[in-house]
Chains A and B, each alone.
Chain A
């Protein structure tokens, strides 16, 4: 079955740029979504179709996807961005999630 691999944790200082990666076989051929989940809350979609931001999502969130790797970039990271981030793609009729990356802003 298809797998998406994420690093377990990323740390960033406030105001700096955070990059969270998601890897999968020929992932660039698929559309990737990214979800933010803060402690005790439901997931929120922050990126869809690789690069698009839903309304209400700050411009500091951006995405890219090429080859085997998709990347979520948070520019000018704020303390409120501390959360778990999950990538997701569809493969053969199944939605596949990465295991998640814990973003720490310190």
Chain B
């Protein structure tokens, strides 16, 4: 079964740090790009960060740039998000989601975030 399982959520003080993990199973992790997406209580989805399959490209939302670091270990089928200098606005359920970038001769496009984890909750207070 294709699965993503997040962990590492919990309560943290303002200004503190937290490290989230996402473990993949049931598919070849190194064939996929990965994202972190969060959802504040009662709010919509907010993309947080992206990492390419070989970790050569990483991108961040402006709201977390300079504070969060995404990384992956393809040998361990795992994705991480190191979160520093946390604020109350970072309180959310954090999801990892896989995607896949494919390129033709003229363009590159994403296939879509087709598998999501169950989410892990981070509460900053």
Query: Within the assembled complex, what's the spacing in Å between the Cα atoms of A45 and B110?
Result: 13
Q: Are B112 and A44 in contact (CB under 8 A)?
A: no
Query: Within the assembled complex, what's the spacing in Å between the Cα atoms of A50 and B90?
Result: 31
Given A49-B109, A86-B45, A97-B46, also A42-B59 (CB < 8 A): no
Q: How far is the CB of B27 from chain A (nearest CB, A)?
A: 14
Q: How far is the CB of A88 from chain B (nearest CB, A)?
A: 8
Q: Are A48 and B116 in contact (CB under 8 A)?
A: no
Query: Within the assembled complex, what's the spacing in Å between the Cα atoms of A16 and B62?
Result: 40
B-contact 0/1 string along A34-55, CB 8 Å cutoff: 0101000011110011000010
Chain A interface size, under 10 / 10 to 19 / 20 to 34 / 35 or more: 20 to 34
Residue B111 at the A interface, CB < 8 A?
yes
For residue A41, which residue of chain B has the nearest CB? B118
Residues of B within 8 A of A33 (CB): 112-113
Q: Are B112 and A45 in contact (CB under 8 A)?
A: yes
Query: Within the assembled complex, what's the spacing in Å between the Cα atoms of A37 and B118?
Result: 12
Q: Which of B44, B112, B118, B119 interacts with A49 by CB under 8 Å?
A: B112
For residue A54, which residue of chain B has the nearest CB? B114
Query: Within the assembled complex, what's the spacing in Å between the Cα atoms of A90 and B61?
Result: 12
Given A31-B109, A43-B45, A54-B114, also A94-B119 (CB < 8 A): no
Residue A80 at the B interface, CB < 8 A?
no
Residue B35 at the A interface, CB < 8 A?
yes
Residue B95 at the A interface, CB < 8 A?
yes
- 13 new A-B contacts, CB < 8 A, other than A35-B113, A94-B59, are A33-B112, A42-B95, A42-B116, A43-B116, A48-B111, A48-B114, A54-B112, A86-B44, A88-B47, A94-B61, A96-B47, A97-B37, A99-B44
Binding site for B on A (CB under 8 A): 1, 31, 33, 35, 37, 42-45, 48-49, 54, 84, 86, 88, 90, 93-100
Binding site for A on B (CB under 8 A): 35, 37, 44-47, 50, 59, 61-62, 95, 97, 109-114, 116-119
* 15 sampled A-B residue pairs with Cβ under 8 A: A1-B62, A42-B118, A43-B37, A43-B113, A45-B113, A48-B112, A86-B45, A88-B47, A93-B50, A94-B47, A96-B47, A97-B45, A97-B46, A98-B44, A100-B44
